[in-house]
Structure 1
Amino acid sequence: MLVTGNIFDQFNAITEYWSPKVVADVNDEYVKLAKFKGELMWHDHGQEDEMFFVIKGSFDLHLEDEVITLSEGDFYVVKKGIKHKPVAKEECFVMLIEKKETKHTGNKVSSHTKSIEEQLN
Structure 2
Amino acid sequence: MTDDVRNIQAALAAIGEHWQPHRLTSINDYDVKVVKLQGEFVWHTHPDTDELFMVVQGELTIQLRDRDVLMGPNDVFVVPKGVEHCPKAVEEVHAILFEPKGTVNTGDAGGDLTAALRELG
- What does residue 64 of structure 1 align with? 65
> Which structure 2 residue ranges, 5 or more long, are not aligned?
none
- What does residue 84 of structure 2 align with? 83
Within a 5 Å distance, the mapping from 1:78-117 to structure 2 comes to 78-116=79-117
- What does residue 17 of structure 2 align with? 16
In 2, the alpha carbon distance for the partners of 1:120 and 1:42 equals 25
In 2, the alpha carbon distance for the partners of 1:92 and 1:76 equals 15
SS at match of 2:11: helix
- What does residue 74 of structure 2 align with? 73
In 2, the alpha carbon distance for the partners of 1:16 and 1:58 equals 18
SS at match of 1:97: strand
Q: Return the TM-score normalized by structure 1.
A: 0.93
2:48 is aligned with 1:47: yes
Q: Return the TM-score normalized by structure 2.
A: 0.93
Q: CA deviation at 1:73?
A: 0.6
Write the letter of the residue equivalent to 2:15: I
Between 1-10 and 79-88, report the one with greater CA deviation.
Answer: 1-10
SS at match of 2:44: coil
Aligned residues: 119
- What does residue 120 of structure 1 align with? 119
Task: Give the ranges of 4+ consecutive aligned residues of structure 1 lying more than 2 Å apart after TM superposition.
Answer: none
**Identity across aligned pairs (percent)?**
35
In 2, the alpha carbon distance for the partners of 1:102 and 1:79 equals 14
